[in-house]
Structure 1
């Protein structure tokens, strides 16, 4: 390892050490796994955001006997974390600068290692397994996101013959991580990346699922005026009674100073919306895939583009207005400048859901049904009790 790589690894270790010290739920699981060794003899193939909190999850799985073959997600890999994991002996592919093509090659490299269990984010690994027709060695896995669950229940429906526990189906995760942690981290990242004021600003959140609820709530708590775009009538009803301005994208786009997507769906914000935006409106995406905003169309319609830094593009349009794009349309709380992502406590909760769900797959896959399915109820209740205990709360 070169001096540069060693220094990068040292930086990564320092960050991982701090974060590990703030994740007591995973610490408890790590101690238990070191005794029970549920993953002994299993290779876990992972495609998930590679940052220090993820490293603590991987350490926990390795303590249980797992061999880890991992890559990150497109645009969110943190190179110091990768260096630290490699120095610790794990096989990790990817860098922050990878192109989408290279990311695809990284996913393929994980699958080439013939994993027995998948730890997936966005269903990239599951889709690759189905495409290859090489499913015999896989006993099951987990899927982190709603975007991945939509793929499993949509384009991949009936094609995945092994069980996949969808972590984002968990109400525990929906409340603790998606609503409160994503809400907090998106607002914090917006302020850090743009250095703009929140109070009084018009913010439109597209999508009122759990993440959208949190984003809307946390922007309003800091003084923003918040509008919500939601197609589902029941969610729109909820948003209205929660006190948000509710309307169509066509109605609210021209009102927005900031517009943030939180749907998991492709092409939600396109050319017809760009034409409605006021001058210097800020566009950002909080969804897993960088496809909710039609970035290609936005750039294609540009007269010129100012690359302010790696987190901000200012796109000059033919109508004389400018659009500010955050993190190239990627998930800007993880792909933007100085990414921090969700809070440590929320990821301790979410990653314990991952760890115990993977343990269930490793030890009892035969009793799980093929395809996408929620986290088993007994796991959710156990983790809820542990989290309350860690908070010092009683019930």
Structure 2
């Protein structure tokens, strides 16, 4: 192995040793071989925990052709996976055009099962007219589920199990793991103190809930922006200040988007926001903060010392009776908990659970795709409940 691959192998070894649910499933798959003769095309963050998932699928007989997501690929993990004989495309430095080329390369590999993240692979096979070659797949994110139910509705003739529809994942991974990792990443990137600082969380879905709760537990003053009346009501009863984004623009010191929708922080907000405010996103797509508009408005910007250039100061000119001011943008508006050269992402235990959902859902696709309806659908209830039992048993075993 190369030095880069050796480094990746050492990181994966630690992760693998702390993911007992996938370890047991890996042994099960070695016997049952549910993916024998199948090729799985994957687009998912290429980091150590994902490598353990890929090892599990390979143990079940799968041939893998994979790429990461834009901006989150870790080169040592790519080198390690290639050393294991897997076809893997992508690097940390890939721009968006290269990422799209990587997606095309995965589809050129002619997979018959998709492991998607954000709907890129599903959209690709529809655009190519090759959907008939796919027996089914999984979609990791709410953003991808929205695409399957929106722009791709009726165009996907195969079943796609949306992992983020699982209540088990929503609680274990989105609320608690994303909440923890986003707050940890904010501290790692900025080295700023949370107690007493004013935070605004846009979106009170499962990820937004987690971010808001973890910030408050560490002493942050937290307000929530939410357009859904029921979620806003829940946030208010949970004890958070609830108001519109523009009403909070001058109050907040840190703004974190967690909606999954484009155009949350836009030009009118940038003109109003408090001087020195920190802007960050934890949604899948880098579109919640209108970074293009922010740079178009800017009178200058520069990278500041921080976690691998993940901190950018953007100066804004005087306008509408207001003097010059500036904002701080983290990770170029991409997922802040996967920013930097060696991001930690979600906790090992949560991803053991989340990736077991992936593995068993893919097993269901491989063995019984015909028994599922076409298009987006939730994780089968029996899989959710089986994994909950396994997770509880593993947690009890650690006490």
Settle same-fold status: TM greater than 0.5: yes
Structure 2 residue 372 is the aligned partner of structure 1 residue 376: no
Q: For the Cα contact (< 8 Å) 1:310–1:337, is it kept in 2?
A: no
CA distance in 2, matches of 1:322, 1:43: 49
SS at match of 2:132: coil
Give the alignment partner of residue 231 of structure 1, picking from 222, 227, 247: 227
Residues 371-390 of structure 1 show CA distances to partners (whole Å, capped at 9, x for unaligned) of: 00000000000000000000
Deviation at 1:307, TM superposition (A): 1.0
Residues 60-102 of structure 1 show CA distances to partners (whole Å, capped at 9, x for unaligned) of: 0000000000000000001110010011110000001000000
Residues 281-337 of structure 1 show CA distances to partners (whole Å, capped at 9, x for unaligned) of: 000000000000000000111111011152110001103111100000000101235
Structure 2 residue 362 is the aligned partner of structure 1 residue 362: no
The equivalent residue for 1:206 is 202
SS at match of 1:101: helix
Residues 231-253 of structure 1 show CA distances to partners (whole Å, capped at 9, x for unaligned) of: 00000000000000000011112
Q: For the Cα contact (< 8 Å) 1:311–1:337, is it kept in 2?
A: no
Q: For the Cα contact (< 8 Å) 2:163–2:379, is it kept in 1?
A: yes
Give the alignment partner of residue 174 of structure 1, picking from 157, 170, 181: 170
CA distance in 2, matches of 1:259, 1:338: 23
Computed over aligned residues only, the root mean square deviation of the Cα atoms, in angstroms, reads 1.0
Q: For the Cα contact (< 8 Å) 2:72–2:92, is it kept in 1?
A: yes
Deviation at 1:136, TM superposition (A): 1.6
SS at match of 2:131: coil
Residue correspondence of structure 1 range 329-368 to structure 2 within 5 A: 329-336=333-340, 338-368=342-372
The equivalent residue for 1:313 is 312
Residues 167-201 of structure 1 show CA distances to partners (whole Å, capped at 9, x for unaligned) of: 00000000000000000000000000000010000
| TM score, norm. by length of structure 1 | 0.98
Q: Which runs of 5+ in 1 are unaligned?
A: none
CA distance in 1, matches of 2:382, 2:224: 35
CA distance in 2, matches of 1:345, 1:15: 16
Residues 120-154 of structure 1 show CA distances to partners (whole Å, capped at 9, x for unaligned) of: 00000000011111112100000000000000000
Deviation at 1:279, TM superposition (A): 1.1
SS at match of 2:250: helix
The runs of at least 4 consecutive aligned structure 1 residues that moved more than 3 Å come to: none
SS at match of 2:214: helix
| TM score, norm. by length of structure 2 | 0.97
Deviation at 1:338, TM superposition (A): 3.2
CA distance in 2, matches of 1:260, 1:336: 17
Structure 2 residue 75 is the aligned partner of structure 1 residue 79: yes
Deviation at 1:393, TM superposition (A): 7.2
CA distance in 1, matches of 2:16, 2:42: 20
CA distance in 2, matches of 1:285, 1:159: 30
Give the alignment partner of residue 267 of structure 1, picking from 263, 281, 288: 263
CA distance in 1, matches of 2:31, 2:359: 15
CA distance in 2, matches of 1:223, 1:41: 53
Q: Which runs of 5+ in 2 are unaligned?
A: 319-323
Worse overlay, 385-394 or 156-165:
385-394
CA distance in 1, matches of 2:330, 2:143: 20
